[in-house]
Structure 1
Amino acid sequence: MSESSTPYRVLARKYRPQNFNELIGQDAMVTTLANAIRRGRLAHAFLLTGVRGVGKTSTARLIAKALNCIGPDGQGGPTIDPCGVCEPCVAIAEGRHIDVVEMDAASHTSIDDVREIIEAVRYASVSARYKIYIIDEVHMLSKSAFNGLLKTLEEPPAHVKFLFATTEVNKVPITVLSRCQRFDLRRITADKLAAHFTNVVAAEGVEADPEALALIARAAEGSARDGLSILDQAIAHGSGRVEAQQVRDMLGLSDRGAVRRLFGEMLKGDAAAVLASIRGQYDLGVEPVAMLHGLLETCHAITRAKVAGTDDPALSAEEREAYGDWAGKLGFATLHRLWQLLLKGHGEVQTAAMPIEAAEMALLRVVHASQLPDPGELARRLASGDLNLPVAPAPAQPPAAEPQGALMAVPVPAVAAVPTPTAAPAPTPVETPPLAVVQAPATASLPEPEPEPATPSLPATGEAIHALLLPENALIAQLFHDYAAIVRLEGEALLITRHQRLPQTFAGDVANILKRCTGRTWSVAMVDEAGTPSLLARIRAEEDAARNAILESPLVKAALEAFPDAELIDYSVPEKRSLAS
């Protein structure tokens, strides 16, 4: 069997848009470009940004075609509808036009690569109307490359146009953004992607289930290229026919019906059925993350149905019916709680060492939450007093006293009084009346309030402050003792002379300790003013005064004069004694 002379081209390349009519999902940008071309208000630089696969590079090539198209007769001008048959259009489509230069910034990041562009823009185009530079993934350029491009980008020659494409516009310097006309390409909606895939499979002569194409469109997440790659794989997987079950098996997606059954079992609080459903899907090859993802989609779809109805064309008839039924039964509070619980479980399963066990625990947590009362309803019942609380068993002896508002047990009087007999019969056992839980009357006496503890007196001296600091923080107390010179101490205000040995946090530490000790808020600050000497300085001054007094005594002076080399090594001041002793 002879092989075809033409190599196979993947669908993402084969069905790349060749004109603006084939560019799906970007109507706003096409309208802006059409008006700019029609009125001759063309910018010198365009920046195209968006997620992968929405058509940034394809749009750049279409703009190059639109600006350089000369029409079938060779007399045309710039147009939003390039003919596609003239030499510039054909050459640009095939990527061989000499005046349309495409550069991948991911592999050409240096200033030398940009310098080549700067040198080349001075020369006129060879055959086209405009010399166009398409730089893909422009955010990959180095800082020096961006700086080298700035001047040329701001004031390029009239025959030069720049077209930039990037998926990470936040990495492009603001100086570059301000010199470009920016277009944000949107994600392509699932219904438009499904319609596009329908046209593709028809052109390829392949049969496909609409549900299968809808699954591929959802999996593409707004990217036409990703969707076409998945469709290409699905066609090969299905041997010429694309079926929904085959797509689920290929992508590892959970069956939508199984997801709805699992969601219903969670709402019923049937833990055993939930565990059985999880294991059943896991045995079929469904990943635990995919299960949680499907449940999140279901919760979101029900919420949307509750707000805007079930008119999503990507949903099957069964899904619309089920979502509409749940939307009528579930409140927004319940849906929001379900979403938060499932979202937390999804994150846990993604990072768990045992994903299936983590999925089971996450869904059991949801089952447990489904049996709890709604917080809003519980608050309303608390406010109205309509609570069906269980009656506690009666104690052997009734309590002597209960505080006001407490639940207490009191005997209920008998329904019918027993008449007193004339003769005294033998004593019969008296039946103890039942106990009921009632609310204590509001007129019950209040317990005597406990006396408030006395507020500690405020310290009025440095010694008193040191005494408070010492048991709380020995280091802070030592610093206060040695270096704190008090400028002012009035009530809860304390000013201390700034000292190089005192840390910057000293004032705050002292204030916190004094607040704990006195129960009042203190204002402590360090200022550049002289204050009274610190406790250590005062002790040393007293010691120096005592020493000088000893040295000035006549007896010591005479001793020092008789023995010049003598020194006063130590001394003690004797206590004064009475004459009687």
Structure 2
Amino acid sequence: MSESLLGLDEPPQPRQEAYRVLARKYRPQTFSQLIGQDAMVQTLGNAIKRGRLAHAFLLTGVRGVGKTSTARLIAKGLNCVGSDGQGGPTIDPCGMCEPCRAIAEGRHIDVIEMDAASHTGIDDIREIIEASRYSAVSARYKIYIIDEVHMLSKAAFNGLLKTLEEPPAHVKFLFATTEVNKVPVTVLSRCQRFDLRRIPAETLAEHFSRVVAAEQVEAEPEALALIARAAEGSARDGLSILDQAIAHAGLEGEGVRTDAVRQMLGLSDRGAMRALFGLLLEGDARGALAALRGQYDLGVDPQAVLKTLLETVHGVTLAKLNSTPAAAQSAEELGSLHDWAGALSFPALHRLWQLLLRGHDEVAKAALPIEACEMALLRVIHASQMPDPGELARQIAAGAITAPAPVAPQPSAPDPALPASMAALAAHLEANKRYQLAQQVRDYLRPSKFDGPDVEFGAARSLPIDFLKELGAALRDTTGTNWRLRCVEGVTALTLREEQAANEEAERNAVLNSPLVRAAREAFPEAELVGWSNQRSTYG
């Protein structure tokens, strides 16, 4: 076989560089490129300038806001030596010196990154503790970056505490987490915490416009605004969506178009949603369902429809408050929002919000999402035809509507067969052989209210746990009536037992103070009144 067939005489083909996704290609390399975190950058810059560097930093925030990127930038800033090799810690690392390049490429021997999701145990932390005793090989600081630190085990956190509180002067710890509530308080108290904010949609849209310009790709501003809103404050998520949108555009040079992005994300057309919202307000059930089915046939998720309608209600409410509109809103959309704001009252907007929110939750759990969405929209339409409660009240006040007179409840005559007092209640129980309950009623209950089967009382001492349940069941069985028994505080009346004792004491004093008995006691000072304790009343 000839060498030409083997391709040996052909010039070597240049090796094609592997494609890097936008989220990695445009990862910030300086603090000036870190978008949406100005407050944190200023605090770090002041700390570095004044030499007030913490020994441990905790970076928290939602996904994709720059926690790991910030940790690497801090590592760069602390170890940068400048282009002349004489520089110190700085908030503006040069990016040219060997430490900066090595850290950016992930190969610096003194900057150790660890993923706590796959290194959760005490053995992994023990290695860090042992290695931290030794000075940095070539850098100013030995830096440990632990991502998703909340996934460390309890033993790992405990093992890290002592070193984290008093680390060697040459060691810095940088922690990143999306779930700061899972990090022990003992660790949080030893770190300087930075909460990275969600990046505003307007800032993301501006960032994406610079990215597409650098990539030499045409993109419609509204398309970038859609991607920014879909990213929900995450630069990484937004760049991933933008990467997909550029690939979706193909090789025809069409660029990133709004309708293509909307179709790719399964978003509803905002113009169509404004038309649907108008149909809901007009009470056009047939037209609203037809518009919903049209969006559904285009591949729009029913839950996304309700979400867009909720955003519309929110936008109308903000327009009614004369709030500053979002930068991504078109002039046509702003005009519609202001028209609706003038026509709808705040109570009507609040009612729309509650109805749509309820529908959104129902669709999320429904076995038939599109049918559930249709029923939710019909509920909104029918509610829109009902008069506003405030307007209804004004019409009643003006006499346009006659308010129905409330029917006064007729007091029911007490059942003569029911016990009408606490004493009668105890006697009733005793007559029906509920002796223990009768004894407890006499000994424990202080009467407060006795209105047929509606009884309130206080307690002279702690009642048995099941006393009310047992007493209610006994009375229901013996009277055929459901009793409402309530134990209340602050009742000072006497129990039947206390009342009996008080009566007996009063009678005894009356006997002792009678003239005949008093004369007998004066004649016979040592005489005593005997037999009194044996004279028991019917309560005994």
C-alpha contact (below 8 Å) 1:194/1:213 kept by paired residues: yes
What residue number does 1:245 align with?
A: 259
1:91 to 102, 105, 118: 102
User: 5 Å matches for 1:486-501?
Assistant: 487=443
SS at match of 2:113: strand
C-alpha contact (below 8 Å) 1:456/1:518 kept by paired residues: no
C-alpha contact (below 8 Å) 1:67/1:78 kept by paired residues: yes
Report deviation, 1:306.
1.7
What residue number does 1:167 align with?
A: 178
SS at match of 1:308: coil
Task: Decide whether aligned partners of structure 1 residues 125 and 373 sit closer, same or farther in structure 2, where only a CA change above 3 A counts.
Answer: same
1:295 to 309, 331, 334: 309
User: 5 Å matches for 1:259-278?
Assistant: 259-278=273-292
Task: Decide whether aligned partners of structure 1 residues 374 and 78 sit closer, same or farther in structure 2, where only a CA change above 3 A counts.
Answer: same
Task: Decide whether aligned partners of structure 1 residues 511 and 364 sit closer, same or farther in structure 2, where only a CA change above 3 A counts.
Answer: closer
What residue number does 1:555 align with?
A: none
User: 5 Å matches for 1:252-401?
Assistant: 252-309=266-323, 311-387=325-401
1:147 to 158, 167, 175: 158
SS at match of 1:129: coil
Task: Decide whether aligned partners of structure 1 residues 382 and 67 sit closer, same or farther in structure 2, where only a CA change above 3 A counts.
Answer: same
1:74 to 72, 85, 90: 85
What residue number does 1:199 align with?
A: 210
C-alpha contact (below 8 Å) 1:485/1:496 kept by paired residues: no
SS at match of 2:145: strand
Moved more, 319-328 or 74-83: 319-328
Matched, 1:105 2:116: yes
Segments of 5+ residues of structure 1 without an aligned counterpart are: 390-403, 408-445, 526-530, 533-581
Matched, 1:457 2:457: no
Structure showing the higher helix proportion among its residues: 2
C-alpha contact (below 8 Å) 2:419/2:425 kept by paired residues: no
1:304-335, CA deviations, whole angstroms, 9 ceiling, x for partnerless residues? 22223453211112111111221222111111
1:440-466, CA deviations, whole angstroms, 9 ceiling, x for partnerless residues? xxxxxx999987777943243786152
TM-score (normalizing by structure 1): 0.74
CA RMSD of aligned residues (A): 3.2
Moved more, 363-372 or 300-309: 300-309
Cα distance in 1, alignment partners of residues 180 and 158 from structure 2: 17
Amino acid at match of 1:175: T
Cα distance in 2, alignment partners of residues 208 and 242 from structure 1: 4
Amino acid at match of 2:145: I
Cα distance in 2, alignment partners of residues 166 and 64 from structure 1: 17
Matched, 1:480 2:437: yes
C-alpha contact (below 8 Å) 1:457/1:518 kept by paired residues: no
Amino acid at match of 2:313: C
Task: Decide whether aligned partners of structure 1 residues 336 and 457 sit closer, same or farther in structure 2, where only a CA change above 3 A counts.
Answer: closer
TM-score (normalizing by structure 2): 0.79
Matched, 1:22 2:33: yes
1:121 to 117, 132, 136: 132
Task: Decide whether aligned partners of structure 1 residues 220 and 447 sit closer, same or farther in structure 2, where only a CA change above 3 A counts.
Answer: closer
What residue number does 1:551 align with?
A: none
Report deviation, 1:341.
0.7
**Residues matched between the structures, number:** 465
SS at match of 2:423: coil
What residue number does 1:466 align with?
A: 429
Matched, 1:504 2:478: no
C-alpha contact (below 8 Å) 1:486/1:494 kept by paired residues: no
C-alpha contact (below 8 Å) 2:459/2:487 kept by paired residues: no
C-alpha contact (below 8 Å) 1:511/1:522 kept by paired residues: no
What residue number does 1:44 align with?
A: 55
Task: Decide whether aligned partners of structure 1 residues 155 and 367 sit closer, same or farther in structure 2, where only a CA change above 3 A counts.
Answer: same
1:338-390, CA deviations, whole angstroms, 9 ceiling, x for partnerless residues? 1111111111111111111011000010011110101111122223333289x
Task: Decide whether aligned partners of structure 1 residues 478 and 193 sit closer, same or farther in structure 2, where only a CA change above 3 A counts.
Answer: farther
Segments of 5+ residues of structure 2 without an aligned counterpart are: 1-11, 449-456, 492-496, 499-540
Cα distance in 2, alignment partners of residues 380 and 40 from structure 1: 68
1:83-108, CA deviations, whole angstroms, 9 ceiling, x for partnerless residues? 00000000000011000000000000
1:481-517, CA deviations, whole angstroms, 9 ceiling, x for partnerless residues? 7x8595467756787999xxx9522266438977988
Cα distance in 2, alignment partners of residues 447 and 52 from structure 1: 61
C-alpha contact (below 8 Å) 1:48/1:166 kept by paired residues: yes
Matched, 1:233 2:235: no
In percent, how many aligned pairs have the same letter?
A: 66
Task: Decide whether aligned partners of structure 1 residues 321 and 2 sit closer, same or farther in structure 2, where only a CA change above 3 A counts.
Answer: farther
Cα distance in 2, alignment partners of residues 225 and 448 from structure 1: 69
Cα distance in 2, alignment partners of residues 363 and 247 from structure 1: 26
Cα distance in 2, alignment partners of residues 376 and 513 from structure 1: 50
